[in-house]
Amino acid sequence: MRKAITIFLMCTLHLTVLAQDNKSDYQYQPFIMDGSCEWVNAEPYNASGTVNHITKEDTIISEKTYRKIYSYTCKNPNVKTYRGAVREENKAIYYVSRHNDNTNEYKIFDFNLKVGDRINYNHPENFQISRPLILEVSKIDTVKSNNIWRRVYSFIDHTYNENSFEWKDAWIEGVGAEQDFLTPFMDIPTCCGGPSYLCGVVQNETLIHGSCTCERWDVGIDKNEIPPFIIKQNPIENKILSIEAGHTKFQLIEIYSMEGISVLTQDISLHSAAFEISLRNIEQGTYIIILTKENGDRESGKIVIK
């Protein structure tokens, strides 16, 4: 079953809606930037990080110039795998995957679209798409991330007329997709703890989007760092989730099954150091909890209900 929910485990991409009087500050943000650029993804449960690196190395494919992309893990940066090649032309992003015959080009982003435009969307690496998606631009927001204004494109999926829905994934100028920068509109995996998610973009060693780099998984990280929240009792035996938040101010809690199904969404109205959430209507099992801060950043964890 197609699922529209995208779980952002510990997602920290902070986007602020652009105020009317700041529109003059906006400038289009290119996807292919000067220098070396890295897109950092956090894996399920924040266990590790992977990097997609658009290098400064050019390659010619069918008489067109592309930049090569390599992927590697944060823990093994010297072991790199060629992923494909990408180019940008007139605010459209074209991608040649290492799969197929390495020559077919796909338009994976088009930042010329307007609200109401429809496209037939296909992708060489999204193996969950059995046929092209019929997508409509539902809204375009201008947001601020790391002091850079970018436009964010949201979509409604009309592929199955009887089950149209709005994707939680989106296109972001200069960033790509929120889950995987080159592969938007991915369904939630039904195993392995959920999807990975984009948590940071680094240009020439400077963080330009999101809030994480490979330093998050550095073996030298301070193990005494205070966590953003603590689950007091886990596994949970009394159907009461008790959380110690310290000085972190959360405003929303979401709980998902391991299949990506939402089982609880609740506002947190009291910004106290500790709070409790009733789980009486949730069955026994393992779940992912996502806590949203006042600034929009998210933290996550795993609970077991007995």
| Model pLDDT for residues 132-177, shown as the tens digit of each residue | 888 999 999 998 888 889 999 999 988 877 677 787 778 999 998 8
Residue 116 pLDDT greater than 70, yes or no: yes
pLDDT of 137: 94
Between 131 and 120, the higher pLDDT residue? 120
Measured CA to CA, the distance from residue 231 to residue 243 in angstroms comes to 5
Residue 21, SS3 per DSSP: helix
Cα–Cα distances (Å) from 71 to 39, 209, 288, in that order, read: 9, 19, 27
pLDDT of 111: 96
Q: Which stretch of 24-28, 156-160, 215-219 has the lowest confidence by average pLDDT?
A: 215-219
Token readout for 46 is 């924040």
Number of residues in the chain = 306
Q: Which CATH architecture has domain 230-305?
A: Sandwich (2.60)
What DSSP state is assigned to residue 227?
P
Residue 90 pLDDT greater than 90, yes or no: yes
Measured CA to CA, the distance from residue 283 to residue 293 in angstroms comes to 26
Strand ranges in 122-270 using DSSP code E only, listed in sequence order: 133-145, 148-157, 165-166, 171-172, 176-177, 197-203, 206-210, 230-231, 240-244, 250-257, 262-267
Nearest to 38 by CA among 85, 61, 72: 72
In this predicted model, what pLDDT tens digit does every residue of 226-269 receive, in sequence order?
A: 567 778 777 888 889 988 776 777 888 889 887 678 899 988 86
Measured CA to CA, the distance from residue 4 to residue 176 in angstroms comes to 18
Domain residue limits, the chain: 16-217, 230-305
pLDDT > 90 in the chain, percent: 22
